[in-house]
């Protein structure tokens, strides 16, 4: 026996036949003595069609009105799925924004709202949790939220994943089960590589990095709300019993600012066509053969910039390798730099985060020797003599995003 939040994606709810199949699967889960909350996406293609129709009718439609329209997809599918469960003899309860038990309260960011976790927790304890304990099966509209003053919001692409993870957190559920049309999380895109394999176990941090890199696994915003002891299982109705991918909760900072290294040397190699793969490979090989460690790199048409950990003792070797082999014209270096790293799940939720980080540095006369966005982090290079001042300025400007609730 366990407590599960099951999210059914639009690809699983394509038509009446697939809805009936999914409802039968939920009934099977209940017959094993489990308690279940169902979160539904809109039926396949409905959200896209609603958005296209809205944009054709009014290209500059107000976000508040778009939220009202887009929410209709999930509000409809929740009603249909509630009917399908009732036909199976399941005591299901429709939960949409008009319900007194509605649990998802968000900020006011229309079209990309973020749940207010502690407010959601209170709402869940007052309503949804009691329904679950009574043996009922709530069917909740995914993707949709309400502001504190009662306005409809939506949570952006993948918003139903966020709904499910928030509810699991608030209910202290054993697992979130994300039912999709794939067998799990693959090592690469199976449509492009026949050798792709389903990964059995990943940490939330690993999935966060994959999603920030473009993998369509789970929306990175959802991972912000996964309890460190929480679990997410991803698979299809056919594979969840035997395979699928298990994601284990891990600490993902909302937003953190740290000094990664106080002994960085910036090396600039100038030449022609420095972005050619052969020259990039040569740079990496020469750094490796000289015993150096690469912290980051930036490539332009006529220059290659390497940020090396250490005092730049290998610069001479780099010069000899590139200039003597006519791979570049000249090499220069700038030592005594520090690397400041900004990372965390809130990065994508902070509008203009790079500007907010560097703006106070410019105002206070702190020179920048590079700003790079790499995977799920922002890396800023400053003189080591300015690093403490820079970190304090960045933290002060981003402090509101480093709190628990936004």
- N-term to C-term CA, the chain: 35
Contact 184, 198 (CB under 8 A): yes
Q: Which helix (H) or strand (E) holds 85?
A: helix 63-87
Residue 159 lies in a domain: yes
CATH code where residue 97 lies: 3.40.1160.10
- Statement to judge: residues 108 and 168 lie in one domain: yes
Q: Six-digit token pair at 130?
A: 């009691």
- Statement to judge: residues 96 and 220 lie in one domain: yes
| Domain final residue, candidates 232, 248, 264 | 248
Containing structural domain, residue 384: 256-401
- Statement to judge: residues 42 and 183 lie in one domain: yes
Distances, alpha carbon 79 to alpha carbons 88, 93, 330, 346, in Å: 15, 9, 68, 33
pLDDT in the model for residue 288: 85
- Statement to judge: residues 240 and 93 lie in one domain: yes
- Cα gap 167→176, rounded to integer Å: 9
Q: SS3 of 201, please? A: strand
- Statement to judge: residues 151 and 223 lie in one domain: yes
Closest CA to 333 of 302, 369, 300: 369
Contact 381, 266 (CB under 8 A): yes
Closest CA to 137 of 85, 79, 176, 74: 85
pLDDT in the model for residue 315: 83
- Cα gap 356→346, rounded to integer Å: 13
Q: SS3 of 366, please? A: coil
- Statement to judge: residues 279 and 389 lie in one domain: yes
pLDDT in the model for residue 301: 87
pLDDT in the model for residue 219: 79
Residue 111 lies in a domain: yes
Residue 270 pairs in a beta bridge with 303, 330
Q: What angle do CA 77, 110, 207 make, to 5 degrees?
A: 70
- Cα gap 34→287, rounded to integer Å: 56
pLDDT in the model for residue 347: 76
- Statement to judge: residues 181 and 33 lie in one domain: yes
Contact 267, 331 (CB under 8 A): yes
Closest CA to 41 of 222, 245, 252: 222
Residue 308 pairs in a beta bridge with 265, 294
User: DSSP labels for 296-330?
Assistant: EEEE-SSEEEEEEESSSTTHHHHHHHHHHTTS-SE
- Statement to judge: residues 238 and 380 lie in one domain: no
- Statement to judge: residues 292 and 223 lie in one domain: no
Q: Six-digit token pair at 62?
A: 């107000």
CATH code where residue 375 lies: 3.30.2130.10
Domain count, the chain: 2
pLDDT in the model for residue 406: 36
- Statement to judge: residues 54 and 181 lie in one domain: yes
Sheet holding 152-154, edge to edge: 105-106, 144-147, 152-154
- Cα gap 33→185, rounded to integer Å: 28
- Statement to judge: residues 234 and 290 lie in one domain: no
Q: What angle do CA 28, 33, 35 make, to 5 degrees?
A: 90
Residue 406 lies in a domain: no
Q: SS3 of 369, please? A: strand
Q: Six-digit token pair at 168?
A: 């699991």
| Domain final residue, candidates 191, 220, 248 | 248
- Cα gap 293→313, rounded to integer Å: 11
Contact 283, 297 (CB under 8 A): yes
Q: Are strands 256-270 and 303-309 parallel, antiparallel or unpaired?
A: antiparallel
- Statement to judge: residues 225 and 242 lie in one domain: yes
- Cα gap 205→14, rounded to integer Å: 31
Contact 217, 158 (CB under 8 A): no
pLDDT in the model for residue 182: 87
b or e along 132-156 (b: 16 or more beta carbons within 10 Å of the residue's beta carbon)?
beeebbbbbbbbbbbbeeebbbbbb
Residue 320 pairs in a beta bridge with none
Residues in the chain: 406
User: DSSP labels for 253-278?
Assistant: -SSEEEEEEEEEEEEEEE-SSTTSHH
Q: What is the pLDDT along the chain (406 residues), one digit of tens a residue?
A: 899 999 999 989 999 999 999 999 999 999 999 999 999 999 999 999 999 999 999 999 999 999 999 999 999 999 999 999 999 999 999 999 999 999 999 999 999 999 999 999 999 999 999 999 999 999 999 999 999 999 999 999 889 999 999 999 999 999 999 999 888 888 888 888 888 899 999 998 888 878 776 677 787 789 889 998 999 999 999 888 888 999 999 777 778 899 999 999 999 999 888 888 988 888 888 888 878 899 999 998 899 999 999 876 788 878 887 888 788 888 899 999 999 999 887 776 677 889 999 999 999 999 999 999 876 789 999 999 999 999 999 999 998 877 444 3
């Amino acid at each position: 026996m366990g407590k599960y939040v099951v999210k059914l994606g639009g690809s699983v709810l394509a038509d009446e036949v697939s809805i009936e199949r999914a409802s039968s699967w939920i009934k099977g889960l209940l017959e094993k003595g489990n308690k279940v909350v169902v979160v539904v996406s809109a039926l396949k293609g409905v959200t896209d069609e609603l958005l296209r129709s809205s944009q054709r009718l009014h290209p500059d439609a107000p976000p508040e009105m778009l939220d009202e329209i887009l929410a209709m997809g999930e509000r409809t599918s929740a009603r249909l799925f509630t009917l399908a469960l009732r036909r199976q003899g399941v005591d299901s309860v429709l939960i949409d924004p008009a319900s007194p038990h509605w649990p998802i309260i968000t900020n006011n960011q229309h079209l990309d709202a973020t749940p207010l976790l502690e407010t959601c927790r209170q709402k869940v304890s007052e309503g949804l949790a009691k329904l679950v304990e009574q043996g009922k099966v709530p069917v909740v509209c995914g993707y949709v939220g309400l502001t504190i003053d009662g306005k409809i919001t939506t949570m952006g692409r993948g918003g139903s994943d966020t709904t499910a993870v928030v509810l699991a957190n608030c209910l202290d559920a054993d697992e979130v089960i994300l039912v999709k049309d794939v067998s799990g999380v693959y090592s690469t895109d199976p449509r492009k590589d026949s050798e792709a394999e389903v990964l059995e176990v990943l940490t939330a941090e690993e999935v966060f990095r994959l999603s920030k890199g473009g993998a369509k696994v789970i929306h990175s915003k959802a991972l912000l709300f996964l309890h460190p002891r929480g679990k997410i299982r991803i698979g299809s109705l056919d594979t969840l019993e035997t395979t699928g991918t298990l994601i284990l909760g891990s600490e993902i900072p909302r937003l953190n600012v740290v000094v990664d290294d106080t002994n960085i040397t910036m090396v600039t190699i100038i030449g022609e066509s420095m972005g050619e793969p052969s020259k990039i490979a040569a740079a990496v090989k020469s750094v490796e053969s000289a015993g150096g460690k690469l912290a980051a790199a930036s490539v332009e048409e006529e220059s290659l910039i390497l940020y090396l950990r250490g005092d730049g003792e290998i610069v001479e070797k780099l010069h000899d390798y590139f200039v003597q082999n006519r791979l570049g014209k000249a090499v220069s270096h700038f030592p005594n730099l520090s690397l400041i790293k900004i990372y965390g799940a809130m990065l994508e939720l902070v509008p203009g985060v790079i500007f907010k980080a560097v703006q106070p540095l410019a105002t206070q006369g702190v020179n920048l020797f590079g700003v790079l966005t790499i995977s799920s982090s922002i890396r800023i290079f400053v003189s080591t003599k300015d690093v403490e001042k820079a970190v304090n300025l960045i933290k002060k400007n981003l402090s509101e995003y480093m709190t628990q609730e936004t």
